[in-house]
Amino acid sequence: AGMAAAFLMEIRRGTQSALLVVRYAAAELPSAPVEVSVCTDSLQVRSGGSCDAAALPAGVSLAPSSCRGLRRLRGDGLHLRVRLRRPPPAADLVFTLRESLKPNKNYIFYCQSCGDVVVKDRKFLRVLPLPSENWSDLVEEWCCHPDPFARSPLHPQHGDCFLGDTYFLLNSGNESHKSKENTRVICKRCKTMLGETVSSDTVKYYVTEVIIQLAEGSFSPTPRSQFVQSMVAQCLLELSSAKSTFRFTIKGDDGKTYILIWLLNSDTLLVESLGSSSSHSVFTPFGDTFMPSSGPVGTWNAAKVLYQPCIKCRNKDLADAWENDMGVHPLKFPSETCLELLLILGLSTASLPPSLRCMNSFQVRNSFY
């Protein structure tokens, strides 16, 4: 039989502390007294004649004597805070696009949605980062004369790959997927938008739409929601680390702002027991996508973000204020992907206990990477 209770533990590596939520599938505790036992390497809940237990993942060790703040929240279950005996293993460094692309190696670019080959065997002589998206807006602050770069666009040659915050630029060569109606670059098989043409010989591919692998390897698909949130999280973490930027606007290729995102932290480790099937809808963020292949407990490295949707003129005043704030960094993706991301954010928020879903009018979600 499945467990009647499920555990959700949100660990902060930086403070070596954790919030533990014990929740029953029916969202209400049983009438019999409930006994919660916190051990160094396991959790246990007893009520009446039932007992639910879960072993903690390797590397996670609690200090039972530090438990404090036990309280019951209606609709949530039991909350308590506990310190760790030692910090859990550090998260693996995010595998960024800049690290995955190397000069003088052969790569194949696949459509992430269907696996069709987008760019055949291609070797780059140079892999270079592009300036920040809004670099041209700052030129007037740097120069006392007209923009010297206005007539010098950065277009790659055949052996170049230029990397932006959310895209990469390639010389189009013979691989053209351009739609006859406009400049959108689409997949020939599934018609998904992959990018857009920048000039007659330059194509922009978005990092959320294409999987890049070495030519000698084989294509390994990744579930769409997992891939999108992983790539977006990588963009947020890399930019926050490089530029000390923590607020972002998510814009579509149509120029509209879809989401406002505020990055809170990137040192979160989530530990979750899957519990009974009835509790999966509460705790599992994306259906079966993030369930571990085996075992009753799953762990995920996560970045915690606050967000506000901006579709249908929602939060227009706040969006306008962020638009004019130099401390906010814009990130551009295909409009369809922005809507996908908004759905993923909503599903993640719904998976949290109600008391953890909002903060200062923003909605909360954990972005896995």
Domains along the chain with CATH numbers: 1-89 (2.60.40.790), 97-214 (no CATH), 224-268+286-368 (no CATH)
Distance between CA atoms of residues 63 and 88, nearest Å = 13
Express each pLDDT in 228-251 by its tens digit: 988 999 899 989 988 888 999 999
Express each pLDDT in 330-348 by its tens digit: 999 999 999 999 999 999 8
- Give the pLDDT band of residue 52 (cuts 50, 70, 90): confident
Distance between CA atoms of residues 213 and 58, nearest Å = 31
pLDDT at residue 295, as a whole number: 54
